[in-house]
Amino acid sequence: MRILVTGGAGFIGSHLIDRLMGQGHDVICLDNFYTGHKRNILKWMDHPYFELIRHDITEPIRLEVDQIYHLACPASPVHYQYNPVKTIKTNVMGTLNMLGLAKRVKARFLLASTSEVYGDPDVHPQPEEYRGNVNTIGIRSCYDEGKRVAETLAFDYHRQNNVDIRVARIFNTYGPRMLENDGRVVSNFIVQTLQNKPLTVYGDGLQTRSFCFVSDLVEGLMRLMNGSHLGPVNLGNPDEYTILELAQTIQGMINPDVDVKFEPLPQDDPRRRQPDITRAKAWLDWQPTIPLNEGLQLTIEDFRSRLGETSRPVSSAHV
């Protein structure tokens, strides 16, 4: 099968490409390298079934493919807030272009949406039926509302043009190949601890998140793409941890001597975030399998190799 992955040089996209290449598919990676990196896909560069195209999806492109995994968009606050207009153009114009491509070549289209469509939720955990509590004019809205519009476009293309769509709502995902400077809590804590810097906890640290290892997420995306349900489907780990618990766990695994410092909570930062994965279990027979400590160990070793920090082994602390 000929498969297009937009944002394929990014964190999740490159892990998806590894799986698709391993299954023998003909894979096209489309990326403008705004947050993606060639090192993530370097091992496939000379493979006869792999093709890399440097392209910005806000501009149209003509390709012949059977499936489209549409992952292209900066997904961490540091990057999507750096150029918010670019972020919303990627979500709206980029999704329009990819849906137009899917319509022309009759490809199945999977949208990588986000738990951010739920905003700062009033319902907990968040089921797909929940319509969200989003600030339309806040600093996160370029991403939150951009993804909500992308979902609208996907379902409108399905209803109006019979495009075969799938919509995944991705919750916090972590693992090897995360960017050192992406501003997400797992990478922030690991980098700060490896560099013997205080761990920055925003607010009182009692806000919660759920953390899904990247290999589990990729499995969910592929099951959704190749299944019969359109979605939306929550993909994430239902285990819930406070930010302070995560900080203390990473601190214990790398360097118990580093301090924790508290900073003011950013605007519109969600208080709680936990997926209801009832639908994923029923429709996809999917649920996460990698425990947090196991995933964190793999992630820490990846950061250690890139940052050159070798002085401390990873211990087996528990949340």
Q: Is 202 an annotated catalytic residue? A: no
Beta bridge pairs of residue 123: none
DSSP structure string for 118-175: GBS-SSSSB-TT---B--TTSTTHHHHHHHHHHHHHHHHHHHHH---EEEEEE--EE-
CA 13, distance to chain mean position in Å, is 9
What would the mean pLDDT of 206-222 be, rounded to a whole number? 96
Annotated active-site residue in 34, 80, 118, 143 = 143
- Residue 316: pLDDT above 60? no
- Residue 60: pLDDT above 70? yes
When comparing pLDDT for 128 and 318, which is higher?
128
Task: Tell me how far CA of residue 255 lies from CA of 202, 242, 245, in angstroms.
Answer: 20, 19, 15
Whether the CB-CB separation of 208 and 240 falls below 8 Å is answered with: yes
Separation CA 177–CA 220 (nearest Å): 19
Residue of 48, 45, 41 lying closest to 19 (CA atoms): 41
- Residue 285: pLDDT above 70? yes
Taking the C-alpha atoms of 254, 213, 292 and 281 in order, what is their torsion angle to the nearest 10 degrees?
A: 180
Provide, rounded to the nearest whole percent, the portion of the chain with pLDDT above 70: 96
**What is the gyration radius of the CA atoms in the chain, in angstroms?**
19
Whether the CB-CB separation of 115 and 126 falls below 8 Å is answered with: yes
Least confident of 18-27, 58-67, 255-264: 255-264
Say which residue the tokens 């890399």 belong to: 52
At the top level of CATH, which class does the domain 2-173+212-235 belong to?
A: alpha beta
Number of H helices, E strands in the chain: 10, 13
- Residue 203: pLDDT above 70? yes
pLDDT of residue 87: 93
When comparing pLDDT for 245 and 74, which is higher?
245
What architecture is the 176-209+239-271+290-307 domain classified under in CATH? Alpha-Beta Complex (3.90)
Whether the CB-CB separation of 140 and 268 falls below 8 Å is answered with: yes
- Residue 151: pLDDT above 90? yes
- CATH 3.40.50.720 intervals, the chain: 2-173+212-235
At position 179, the amino acid (one-letter code) is L
Least confident of 37-41, 81-85, 165-169, 230-234: 81-85
Q: Which residues are CB-contacts of 20 (< 8 A; sequence separation ≥ 6)?
A: 3, 5, 27, 222
Whether the CB-CB separation of 303 and 187 falls below 8 Å is answered with: yes
Question: Phi and psi dihedrals of 197, rounded to 5?
Answer: -105, 155
What would the mean pLDDT of 146-152 be, rounded to a whole number? 97
Task: Kindly provide the b/e burial profile for residues 86-120, where b requires at least 16 CB atoms within 10 angstroms of the residue's own CB.
Answer: bbbbbbbebbbbbbbbbbeeebbbbbbbbbbbbbb
Q: Which residues are CB-contacts of 308 (< 8 A; sequence separation ≥ 6)?
A: none
What would the mean pLDDT of 241-256 be, rounded to a whole number? 94
- CATH 3.90.25.10 intervals, the chain: 176-209+239-271+290-307
